[in-house]
Amino acid sequence: MAYDFDLFVIGGGSGGIAAARRSTEYGVKVGLAEAGRLGGTCVNRGCVPKKLMVYASHFPEQFKAAKGYGWTVGETSFDWPTLMTAVNNETTRLNGIYQTMLDKSGVKLFRHFAQFIDDHTLQVGEETITAGKILIAVGGRPVRPEIPGIEFTITSDDIFHLPQQPQRIAIVGGGYIGSEFASILNGLGCQVTQIVRSNAILRGFDDGMRQEIQTAMANAGVKVMTECQPVAFEKTKDGVDVTITTATGAQHVLVDAVSLAATGRIPNIDKLGLDKTAVSIENGAIAVDDYNRTSVPHIFAVGDVTDRINLTPVAIKEGRIFADREFGQKPGVMNYDAVPTAVFTTPEMGTVGLTEQEAKDQFGDTDIQTYRSRFRPMYYTLPGIEAKTLMKLVVQKSTDRVLGAHMVGDHAAEIIQGVAIAVKMGATKAEFDATVAIHPSSAEEFVTMR
């Protein structure tokens, strides 16, 4: 049977665009459907605008540090609308770049939603389109829990479009999204209350690192409420009254805005018409094998819609490996071991490999040795700022292999990216030790720990 396209991609985010462009390099005919802005969550509601806000939130400390180096900084002020306009202009610019990339690659873009009619056929706007292979890359969306007054809250997606800066804000959730926005908004001058269900923020990350970040955030002015959760939101003339259950009873926090920043995201599959296909769904996500193939052999899925590791670089790599394998005759599968990641709180965290507890659970307490360094970076000595950096290496004694590397402090993401190469390659602690340090730097601690 002749199809309209060799490959049709549903979703114009990072994973879908990467797969579409790479596939055209092998001479196949590719179509892509995206009704919203190109670039997906990362460009429009995640990585990019968030990181720009992180940069903005660091200036107050930089102004303070400048005095210690002999600079005189005059009166400063912050204008929220100016920042939001600049951030949104940048995302619009990136949307245009993605459009240009698709055009140059020869991918035919459909500015409509796509919905399955059957395993090979899609309804795309007014058109009916067939494809030999179909890739689903529609990402995820935030979840709104059923709590009284939930309509008076916003999600993390909405923060980038608030016309005015909230002076008081509650961040619900202790995951990386919630913790990042708590740090950002605190740095921009908001009074921030972070409401966390567990006993500490950033569950799933190394315990020492998450405690270091939580302590630093609290010292910077974020009110972190742990082991509690909101049970009601009520709009009043003075703001939004948040009722919170705690171990000692109900408490109330009055804020200008409530962000459901970390109450979860789920695969965005509701309107795909998957019931018209034999694609299997497990725990709300599209089930795929090691080759990102669904239960229908010619239908594939990458990125957050599969709910594996929900990171933009993972989706991009999945998409490119898919294209290379299916159209370039280059066998390969995605390796999810030692995927590095960063959390852009203040201070930020970079991490790769196993946490200390994961390593002990896997290999036993007696076979694991950790190396730790905590210090004040040189940058903060002249201004007299009590900022700390914490680094940790998790090592298997029997093999001397470095199983995990973790850092909290300035430029942690930049530093861990390089360290991740060594961890991925299976470097030993002896090989770390044999590496000559760059002095003076914070990064040198990773090769001088004893």
**Active-site residue list:** 439
> Which amino acid type is present at position 154?
I
* Non-local CB neighbours of 437 within 8 Å, separated by 6+ positions: 444, 447, 448
β-strands 127-136, 229-236 pairing: unpaired
Token code pair at residue 120? 């090979």
* Integer Cα distance of 363 and 370 in angstroms: 13
* Non-local CB neighbours of 143 within 8 Å, separated by 6+ positions: 260, 263, 264, 265, 266
> Which amino acid type is present at position 40?
G
- Of the CA atoms within 13 Å of residue 221, those in its CB half-sphere come to 12
**Do residues 122 and 114 make contact, with C-beta atoms less than 8 angstroms apart?**
yes
Token code pair at residue 444? 């040198």
